[in-house]
A and B are shown apart, each in its own frame.
Chain A
Amino acid sequence: MAASVVTWAGLAAFGRACGSIRSRLLGSSSTLSQVSCLHTSTELNSKHWERKNLVVYPPQQKDELRRPAEIYHCRRQIKYSKDKMWYLAKLIRGMTIDQALTQLEFNDKKGAKIIKEVILEAQDMAVRNHNVEYKSNLYIAESFSGKGKYLKRIRYHGRGMFGIMDKVHCHYFVKLVEGVPPKVEQKTGFDQAKEYVEQLRNRTIIHSL
């Protein structure tokens, strides 16, 4: 085992030095009017996705197109990998809600059952709280997974070696929109080839005769 000569006193001194450097940087930037070099990130425990359900739009006029209802729902700290969950989220993107529920019901993965529960909850919320008329008239506009907080444990190897094992958790987010899902245009290989040839033909040669 490598012996590191890092003592607690040394670490503390390093931390203090870092702090002074950062405060000096902040001081120099605050003299300028713009603080563009600072990167503002989200705070810990930010529940932005849930807050999207609290947005109120002003009343529409009679001649405007009826705004489709959007319902945001998520589940946090699911005991599953975010990469494995991504496959299921990608599967149901753009499907109608009934089609998505059928596909998830007959999928063998662990995350399928969880996503199905989330979508059913969101559908119930939509009908009760968000004034959605027909519960089948919804489609999945956005669906993705994110990394949750991992717990760390020790994985024992041979010869006294150890590794840090991550107990993975993920979040799952879904946005349901009222109406018929938009048609995605399927581009054939022939169309792509035609476009490529057109691009080549539209090139102009500058500084030529």
Chain B
Amino acid sequence: MATSICRTLKYLQPTICLNIKPVFVPIRTKKRYFIPPAVNVKQKSQSEQETKARAAGVVVRQQYIERAINISCTAGIFDPYIPPEGDARLSTLSKEGLKQRTEQLRQSAASQLAFRKIKDHDPEFSTKEFPALAQQIFIDAHAALTQFNKEKLHSLVTERCYPEMVRGNRYKTLRWRFIESLEPPRVVHARCPDMISKGNLYGQVTLRVHSRQTLAIYDRFGRLMLGDEDEPRDVLEYLVLERHLVNPYGRWRLHGKIVPAWAPPKDPIIKTVIIPGPTLKPEEAFEDLHYQVPKPKAVQWYK
């Protein structure tokens, strides 16, 4: 059997140790497929290992610990709008309802300031025309979600809202229809936070939408998971739209939804789900424990 040469001669020059004369040293060049772990070796600390590696000539590439930051949208909703309780319960025609409405819009001076700042940067913004535009953005965004058109969805929805809308829906079929708007949408709140540096303004406007919609979610196999395609529901939502004001190419995009603390609980899914209970000791029985399933706290949260 012909074998390749396994030994070559390496020329050692007196670089490190000056006592050695320049000489040829025979070394093995055959590849070792298996190096057994060294036995009885004492554990070296990190600094010792580093000095050894440097002496041997092993170079470790610089590790870049990078984290991508998105500057085209903010990470949350600043100074969020707290919807008053019984918002959709009182009818608009009653005296109380009217008073509440007029109070809300006049009250917040900060909102007025924010509107002025937005109008400075975007002269075409008006409190009267914006709601119709925003509702159209909302309808288009949800239609794009149904078709799962990624590019269109990114242009209508901010980067913070996109994963929340899309998570878990990739292998599901969504059927959503916007039937009609029960009340004309209104702007209820606005804020203009600035991120990182002082002049970097973002505008966040909250819109109150009362509409009728149908939603049906089907899983991977075409079986109904949630909702009904033929049953329209009345929905009261507080949408937050955001725009990077300083950017001339910025657009008003859906940033999130505010779910008030007094919102009615959502419908359960058409599936029995196991709620993890307490771990029992061998002598205990579950019925004797009288375990109460913990109900979540009624807190306002953002979608």
Contact = CB atoms under 8 A, between A and B. Distances in A.
A168 to B, nearest CB: 18
A108 to B, nearest CB: 29
B272 A57 contact: no
Nearest to A153: B33
A57 B272 CA distance: 22
Nearest to B229: A59
Chain A interface secondary structure, helix, strand, loop or mixed?
A: loop
Interface stretch (A78-86, A129-137, A194-202): A129-137
Nearest to B174: A59
B175 A57 contact: no
Contacts of B218: 59-60
Contacts of B172: 56
A35 B271 CA distance: 50
A110 B221 CA distance: 35
A2 to B, nearest CB: 10
B222 A67 contact: yes
Interface residues of B, number: 16
Contacts of B173: 56, 58-59
B222 A60 contact: yes
B1 interface: yes
Contacts of A55: 220
Nearest to B33: A153
Q: Which of A54, A59, A69, A130 has the most CB of B within 10 A?
A: A59
Given A58-B173, A59-B175, A133 B222 contact: no
Chain B interface secondary structure, helix, strand, loop or mixed?
A: loop
A150 to B, nearest CB: 16
B223 A67 contact: yes
Contact of A59 (B1, B171, B222, B272): B222
Interface residues on A, range: 10 to 19
Interface string A64-103: 0011111000000000000000000000000000000000
Given A1-B1, A133-B271, A134-B272, A54 B222 contact: no
Contacts of B224: 59-60
A133 B269 CA distance: 11
A159 to B, nearest CB: 14
A58 B219 CA distance: 9
A57 B173 CA distance: 9
A116 to B, nearest CB: 21
Contact of A133 (B216, B220, B272): B272
B3 to A, nearest CB: 12
Given A54-B171, A56-B171, A59-B173, A131 B222 contact: no
A130 B220 contact: yes
B175 A131 contact: no
Given A56-B173, A58-B173, A59-B218, A131 B1 contact: no
Contacts of B221: 57, 60, 67-70, 130-131
Given A54-B171, A56-B173, A59-B175, A130 B219 contact: yes
Contacts of A68: 221
Nearest to B219: A131
B262 to A, nearest CB: 31
Interface in A28-64: 54-60
The 5 closest A-B pairs by CB, nearest first: A131-B219, A59-B218, A60-B222, A57-B222, A67-B221
Interface of B: 1, 171-173, 175, 216, 218-225, 271-272
Given A57-B221, A68-B221, 17 more contacts: A54-B171, A57-B220, A57-B222, A58-B173, A58-B222, A59-B173, A59-B175, A59-B216, A60-B221, A60-B222, A67-B221, A67-B222, A69-B223, A131-B221, A131-B223, A133-B272, A134-B272
11 contacts: A1-B1, A54-B171, A57-B220, A58-B222, A68-B221, A69-B220, A69-B221, A69-B223, A131-B221, A131-B225, A131-B271
